[in-house]
Structure 1
């Protein structure tokens, strides 16, 4: 059964996390066409680019997704050339079974699972202790 971290890694490896980020940005910065009658409506002196920046900076959900993506980008650079990275790619990008993951990285299926479990524990304990269950 996949937990939140598995789903996050799956979204990251398949590009779905970036799609969610882009979708959230479009949703929160969309133009709202409100009818103003008379002089009761106040006019904003904020440029559209600045308005969009302020909206994006203030959206906690978007910022959480951006932070997680940046952390995973950096993490993938750090674990470059390791079996763990190969395991994560095989499991989540190519959606292989654990048996196939083990074959792909030249490990026993149980050894691949243990390395991945250790990787997840490191992520939970060190990076996302408070944000992932």
Structure 2
């Protein structure tokens, strides 16, 4: 579970999560519509609503919805008052800029173990939500 949470945090802070969402939308857009008119005759009640079809594909795709949920949870927890500014900065430096723990502790003037403890607390809280 910790590896999954680390991957989500890394993707969020590096911007890869947004890119994954865009990529998944493009994959869904490139999927052609299936021809339901098997056999002869002409299609009488055929609908042509491409926007509705696209929205239905987005809403019914499990992978895309999981990515949206991860992004929403990350935004909620980082912007809420639960996660203080120091923890937010620790996460940005560790996952976004890939700083070492020693560099983070020197940058923020806190102990190395304190930074690791705050990161682990946030991961435990996030694991419950995901």
Please indicate the TM-score interval, normalised by the length of the shorter structure.
Answer: 0.7 to 0.9
Unaligned 5+ segments in structure 1 are 129-133
| TM-score normalized with structure 1 length | 0.82
Does residue 22 in structure 1 map to residue 22 in structure 2?
yes
Equivalent in the alignment of 1:131 = none
Q: What do residues 111-130 of structure 1 show as CA deviations (whole Å, max 9, x unaligned)?
A: 100111111111123x12xx
Identify if the C-alpha distance between structure 1 residues 63 and 30 changes in structure 2 by more than 3 Å, giving closer, same or farther. same
Unaligned 5+ segments in structure 2 are none
| TM-score normalized with structure 2 length | 0.84
C-alpha contact 1:99 1:109 (8 A) present in aligned 2: yes
C-alpha contact 1:102 1:112 (8 A) present in aligned 2: yes
Where do 1:47-126 residues align within 5 Å?
A: 47-79=49-81, 81-125=84-128
Would you say how many aligned residue pairs link Structure 1 and Structure 2? 126
Question: Which has the larger share of helix?
Answer: 2
